Structures are given as structure tokens and as C-alpha cells.
Amino acid sequence: MTGRKIVVALGGNAILAKDASAAAQQQALKETAQSLVKFIQAGDELIISHGNGPQVGNLLLQQAVGSTPENPAMPLDTAVAMTQGSIGYWLQNAMAAELSHLGIEVDVATVVTQVVVAQDDPAFEHPTKPIGPFYTCEEATELQVETPTFQFVEDAGRGFRRVVPSPRPIDVVEAGAVNQLVKNGVVPIAVGGGGVPVIRRGHELVGCEAVIDKDFASEKLAELVGADLLIILTAVDHVYVNFNQATQKRLETVSVAELQHHIAMGQFAAGSMLPKVEAAIDFVVHRPAGQAVITSLSNLDEFIAHGTGTIIANSAATESV
């Protein structure tokens, strides 16, 4: 089916899959763009969002090394905005090249997006969002001594990472602007890195020290713009039960009730797969006719052609939107 409004969320780890150089990340996004343009070719309206966990963590590390009182490190909200700019630039550049190659005249534009969070969100007291590089247990123990205010956790069997507060998104300030762009035939790149986290204070929006989960922010945006489909792209083709065990089993089309059962059984790692599953559930609960899909960048062509991936529907419907 074509003519759908689709929000596609790209994982930060999936963008920084090989190495952290700009060239390697641009190459990953070039390959992503080759798949994403297929939605435009099919007549769908597309909104792209992306993560920034590895990138914003790396940026903070670079800033810590080079900062001086005259040239201070930027606060986390500003660092998130910086990654919206850099990743948005790579992505809109890659999309424009691919569209031009295909002779399709569609504009792609990155929107620096602010996302409202609650000042009293308990997440500010309990950091859960992994950012930056993966460390061995020994490295993380050493870093913990050097930077006692930081917290490190084990991230889905892949090593240890620093964690920062990740409050839930309440509103996307630029959702109306994003919708106007879509109505005018533009492909917006929005809520990058989960959006710049801001708190409402009277007439002002004040940035805060957090990294919002881009899956929750993408879900909120998808809800606000009335999307039909939320596609969450990460490093795995499917969501699994008993992930990384001999008995692991992929989930194909799955209902909200079934996923809630798996959540209760602790099947999905916090800070990695759990937010994706929760965002997918939130979306189909708020948009009962909609569907959410969790799959990999490398499986995107297969999803487009054959619908393979983990598909979450409000009831376990098998029909595609």
C-alpha cells in the first residue's frame, strides 16, 4: 500500500556501526538513504528521525579533553543540538544525492527539534540512557574512579557504557512545523537524538542535562503528526525472546498483549530493546489503525518487499497498512 505517512527512526548504534569517523557514518547513511528513497518512490510521506547515543557521548568526551575556561565544554542539551546538526547534515546530504541520482525532485530538510520533558521526571534521579563508547568492565571501573559523578551500566551484553538521565517526551515543540513541511512535499529530519530536552518555565523553554530516547520521541512525533506507520531501525532484524540464548526465537507479527507479557517476563534489555518495544506499543495504542515495525537497516529492503521484521499491531492483525 502507498500514500502512507511514515516515521522512520534510525538507531545511533546502527549509524555508528563500523567506526566513529565522519566518513564511516556518512557511508552508513548513504546506504540507508538508498533504502529510504524507496518509500518516496512508492508515494509515501516520510519523516526521518535518528538516534545519537554513541555520537553525543563521543562529543562529550572530545569536549572534556579540549575544554578550557575560555573555551568551555557545552552542556548536554547543546551537545544534543550539535549532533542533530551533524547527523542531520549527513542524512539530508545522502538523501539529496540519492534522490538526485533517481531524478526525483523532493527537498529534505533537518529541523532542530526541541522536545518538552517534565522537570520532576524521576529519570533525572535515575540515569538509564547509555551514551558514548562501550568499555570493558575493567575500563569502566577505572573511569568510575576518575569521574565519580558519572554512572556506568552493562548495555545488552555489549560492554559497559556511561548512562545519563532520559526523561519521557511530553510534547514535540516543532511538530506543527514538521507537519507543514510534510504537507508541502518536504521530507523532514526531526527529533534527532530524541530532540533537544527542554523544560517549560512560563513563556520560556529551558534546556536540561538529558538525552531523550529517540524511540519514545519518534513515537510522540508519529502520534502528533498522525502517522500510519512507525518504523524503528536498529542492528537486529527482529525482536527476540530469549535473545542471545540457544533457545532464542524471533517475533514476527505480535500483538500488544503478547509483547506486554514478554516485557513482564524481562525479555527486553533496559536502555536498548525495551524502549523500542514500549514505543511501538505506545504508537499502536494511540493510533489503533497504525502499525509499528522493529527491524534492521540491512533488512529494510526485505521489509519493504516482503514485510519481514517484527510487526506490532493493536490486535495481531497480519494485514499491512
Ligand X SMILES: Nc1ncnc2c1ncn2[C@@H]1O[C@H](COP(=O)(O)OP(=O)(O)O)[C@@H](O)[C@H]1O
Ligand Y SMILES: NC(=O)OP(=O)(O)O
Q: What is the CB neighbour count within 10 angstroms for residue 118?
A: 14
234 contributes a contact to ligand X by CB under 6 A: yes
Q: CA dist 190 to 7, 177, 252, 267, Å? A: 10, 10, 28, 30
Contacted by 267, from ligand X, ligand Y, none: CB < 5 to 8 Å by type: ligand X
Active site annotation includes 30: no
Contacted by 14, from ligand X, ligand Y, none: CB < 5 to 8 Å by type: ligand X
Residue 146 class from Cβ within 10 Å (0-12 exposed, 13-18 middle, 19+ buried)? exposed
Among 7, 79, 198, 239, binds ligand X (CB under 6 A): 239
Among candidate residues 53, 214, 220, 314, the one labeled active-site is: 214
Structure-derived torsion over alpha carbons of residues 135, 136, 142, 144, reported in degrees to the nearest 10: 60
Per CB under 6 A, the segment of 8-16, 65-73, 84-92, 111-119 that binds ligand X is 8-16
Smaller CB distance to ligand X: residue 198 or 297? 297
**Assigned C-alpha cell, 5:** 505517512
- Residue 183 CA, chain-centre distance (Å), reads 23
Smaller CB distance to ligand X: residue 199 or 212? 212
Contact 64, 26 (CB under 8 A): no
Instruction: Please state whether beta strands 114-116 and 171-172 pair in parallel, antiparallel, or not at all (unpaired).
Output: antiparallel
Query: CA geometry: angle at 227 spanning 252 and 277, to 5°?
Result: 35
Contacted by 211, from ligand Y, ligand X, none: CB < 5 to 8 Å by type: ligand Y
Among 25, 37, 48, 51, binds ligand X (CB under 6 A): 51
Question: Which residues from 120-139 bind ligand X, rule CB under 6 A?
Answer: none
Instruction: Please state whether beta strands 291-296 and 310-313 pair in parallel, antiparallel, or not at all (unpaired).
Output: antiparallel
Helix, coil or strand: residue 147: coil
Query: Of 123, 231, 226, 112, which is closest to residue 169 (Cα–Cα)?
Result: 123
Among candidate residues 53, 58, 88, 129, the one labeled active-site is: 129
Number of residues located near ligand X, criterion CB under 6 A: 18
β-bridge partners, 294 = 232, 310
Query: What is the x/- site pattern for ligand Y, positions 48-87, by CB under 6 A?
Result: ---xxx----------------------------------
Alpha-carbon span 112 to 193, nearest angstrom: 10
**Assigned C-alpha cell, 276:** 523500542
Active site annotation includes 202: no
Smaller CB distance to ligand X: residue 162 or 182? 162
- Residue 108 CA, chain-centre distance (Å), reads 18
Closest contact distance (angstroms) between CB of 189 and ligand Y is 14
Closest contact distance (angstroms) between CB of 10 and ligand Y is 8
Among 155, 213, 278, 282, binds ligand Y (CB under 6 A): 213
Among candidate residues 11, 12, 57, 195, the one labeled active-site is: 12
Task: Give the residues lining the site for ligand X (CB under 6 A).
Answer: 11-14, 51, 53, 156, 234-236, 239-240, 243, 267-269, 272-273
Sites of contact with ligand Y (CB under 6 A): 11-13, 51-53, 193-194, 211, 213-214
Catalytically active residues are: 12-13, 129, 214, 276
